[in-house]
Amino acid sequence: MDELRRRLLELHKVLVDVERDGYERARGRMTDGEFLKALIDDPAFAWLAPLTALIVRLDELETPDIPAEFKAEVKRLLKPDDLGSAFQRRYHEILQRSADALVAHGAVMKVP
């Protein structure tokens, strides 16, 4: 369970970093605090909510083994799809242009 959590957190960080880069290019440099506020409040980042919620749910599991249903949910969410959910569409776009995101995605998919 620790490995999946670690890999999901790494993926989340990469996605946030990619989004911050684009956000700051459009709006100018921001302090970490300013960006955190934008990350929380700006609807432009709402697409990340399903991944954030999934990580929180993983933290709340009270078992050392990850249920098969949870693993299936991770794979469903992290399926890049330009016709899928808002998360899947944006995720698809980022995987097409960020090698770091692609590597982090692969690391999550390899967790048994």
Question: 33-68 pLDDT, tens per residue?
Answer: 999 999 999 999 999 999 999 999 999 998 888 899
DSSP string, 47-85: GGHHHHHHHHHHHH--SSSPPHHHHHHHHHHT---TTS-
In this prediction the pTM is: 0.92
Q: Which residue, chain included where needed, has tokens 């960080």?
A: 13
20 DSSP assignment:
H
Question: For residue 7, how many other CB atoms are within 10 A of its CB?
Answer: 19
Compute the average pLDDT of residues 97-101: 97
* DSSP letter assigned to residue 29: -
Task: For residue 97, name the pLDDT band (cuts at 50, 70, 90).
Answer: very high
- What pLDDT is attached to residue 112? 84
Domain residue spans of the chain: 2-109
Instruction: Quote the CA–CA distance of 92 and 29 in Å, as a whole number.
Output: 26
Classify residue 43 as exposed, middle or buried by CB count within 10 Å of its CB (0-12, 13-18, 19+): exposed
